[in-house]
A = this chain, B = another copy of it.
Amino acid sequence: MAQKTTYPHKVDPQVVDFTLRATVPALTNAILNVAGIDAQTKGFGVDALRADNVSWVLSRMALEFDSRPEEFSEYTVTTWISDYNRLVSTRNFTLNDAEGHEFGRAVTQWCLFDLTERRALDLTARGDLYASAVVDAPSPAERPRRLRPVAPVTVSEHRVVYSDIDFNRHVNTLRYLDMMFDTLPIESFVEDRPLRIDVHFLSECRYGQTLRIGSAPTPAGLAFEISAADTATPAVRAAFEWK
């Protein structure tokens, strides 16, 4: 049976905000980088898939940060795949500070997508390489929650530019998080409150599109919905819940 794998990290000066703590998008970037490196190390990363024009696509994620680590502090990201079915693989994460105290965790759900045929592939047909990577340990947090359509109270716009897009000319996952955080009042970052974020990625946004970032208050925080201005289909739905 496979084991969890742990990767060392450090809070570099370029990932802190004015509170001198790592930003949530930067911590999420560390988590997603670890997903990529861990898959690559185990033989099913985007490097091995690229030749077949196949890629991992992030479908849903749940992030919990009890606190944000301070500049220059060291932390670890531990990751493991807990299970998978035909459509979705669940990759988990815990974040621990230098004293071993867990300050964050994430549950991410991925599809394997054939970019040529534009369809999800059957994960159970991938053979032993993937099956042997599963670790017998449950997810460290509640899995990504169901998210309802959002009736926005506030709407801002963002035109998709070169610095927003990935290798596929689609908007980068992290930039969606940035767009949501950028709508928050700057004072909201002063206090380091525990935050849970649930995100669903529903459709892809492309270079040149104008996006509408809608948000509405919820009893526990904020709900977001991002759509291309010229379509009715939402691209991203999310819920922020402060504790």
* Partner-B contacts on A (CB < 8 A): 12-14, 16-18, 20, 23, 25, 29, 32-33, 36, 46-47, 71-72, 161-163, 165-169, 172, 174, 178, 181-182, 184, 186, 189, 207-208
Contacts and interface: CB of A to CB of B under 8 A. Distances in A.
Given A47-B72, A181-B162, A186-B207, A12 B25 contact: no
Contact of A172 (B14, B20, B169): B14
A184 B163 CA distance: 11
A12 B172 CA distance: 14
A170 to B, nearest CB: 10
A166 to B, nearest CB: 7
Contacts of A186: 162, 207-208
Nearest to A158: B161
Given A13-B46, A36-B13, A165 B18 contact: yes
Contacts of A72: 47
A14 B163 contact: no
Given A12-B36, A36-B12, A18 B178 contact: no
A167 B36 contact: no
Contacts of A166: 14, 18
17 contacts: A12-B33, A12-B36, A14-B33, A14-B36, A14-B166, A14-B172, A14-B174, A16-B167, A18-B168, A20-B167, A23-B163, A161-B178, A162-B178, A162-B181, A163-B178, A186-B207, A186-B208
Q: How many copies does the complex hold?
A: 2
Contacts of A207: 186
A157 to B, nearest CB: 11
A207 B224 CA distance: 22
Nearest to A161: B182
A117 B211 CA distance: 42
Contact of A17 (B13, B18, B33, B165): B165
Most-contacted residue by chain B among A18, A47, A162, A189 (CB, 10 A) = A162
A186 B177 CA distance: 23
B17 A167 contact: yes
A182 B163 contact: yes
Nearest to A184: B162
Nearest to A181: B162
